[in-house]
Amino acid sequence: MSAFILFIDIFWRCFIISKQEIHINDEIRDKEVRVIGQDGSQLGIMSSTKALEIAENANLDLVKIAPQAKPPVCKIMDYGKYRFEQAKREKEARKNQKTVDIKEIRLSLNIDTHDFNTKLNHTQRFIKSGDKVKVSIRFRGREMGHPELGLEIMNKFSDACSEFAVVEKPAKLEGRNMLMFLAPRPTK
């Protein structure tokens, strides 16, 4: 192998594209492998040295694609092109993923109707965009003596949100805070 090809080979291995470890060329230590040609045709079961010889004659790489099979399946292909296409597919899959954020809405025990409706509209906007909402009430001082008032406000808020959201986790007092989680209503 020339120094340049060795450099390129080491360079490609520096980039971890996939979680699975792929064996190529001299890394394949199996006695016998099932070989698939570059056009997808079955070349049959042969020794790994013979398969590697066929791949080198075609100026391509021998790549183990199914190590768990008996015997392992190897394919003759251009490894650099394969890695590039694999990276492209994974990048596309990451781009299509939707991350769900948790937005927080804070209420208080003495919230007025306009403030309540404003918080309700914010919650509706968050839920419509696909996010989950954490609704919280913080009890201060003597308010800790009346958690039932906070529960009443939480129930009123969840009833107002019932047409566009479902209660994922009902209101529960945790320390000085009462928390409730809302999620988007599942579509049918």
pLDDT at residue 174 tops 50:
yes
Helix and strand counts by DSSP (H, E) for the chain: 5, 8
Same domain, 77 and 141: no
Give the pLDDT confidence score for residue 96 in this predicted structure: 79
Same domain, 42 and 69: yes
Q: Which of 66, 94, 122 is the last residue of a domain?
A: 94
pLDDT at residue 155 tops 90:
yes
Would residue 5 count as lying in a domain?
no
Task: State how far the Cα of 183 lies from the Cα of 134, in Å rounded to an integer.
Answer: 9
pLDDT at residue 18 tops 60:
no
Give the pLDDT confidence score for residue 108 in this predicted structure: 92
The pLDDT of 94-105, averaged and rounded, is: 84
Same domain, 106 and 86: no
Instruction: Express each pLDDT in 35-48 by its tens digit.
Output: 888 888 888 888 88
CATH number of the domain within which 114 lies = 3.30.110.10
pLDDT at residue 51 tops 80:
yes
Task: Quote the domain boundaries for residue 167.
Answer: 102-184
Pairing state of beta strands 32-36 and 42-47?
Answer: antiparallel
pLDDT tier at 11, thresholds 50, 70, 90:
low
Give the pLDDT confidence score for residue 93 in this predicted structure: 85
Can the peptide bond before residue 71 be classed as cis, meaning omega within 30 degrees of 0?
A: yes
Same domain, 34 and 62: yes
Cβ proximity of 91 and 81 under 8 Å: no
Q: Which of 28, 60, 94 is the last residue of a domain?
A: 94
Would residue 1 count as lying in a domain?
no
Name which of 59-73, 101-115, 150-164 the model is least confident about. Answer: 59-73
Give the pLDDT confidence score for residue 15 in this predicted structure: 47
- The total number of structural domains in the chain stands at 2
Same domain, 25 and 73: yes
Same domain, 27 and 79: yes
Would residue 4 count as lying in a domain?
no
The pLDDT of 21-26, averaged and rounded, is: 76
Would residue 11 count as lying in a domain?
no
Helices (H), the chain: 3-13, 48-57, 79-96, 113-128, 147-160
Question: Is the entire prediction scored with pTM above 0.75?
Answer: no
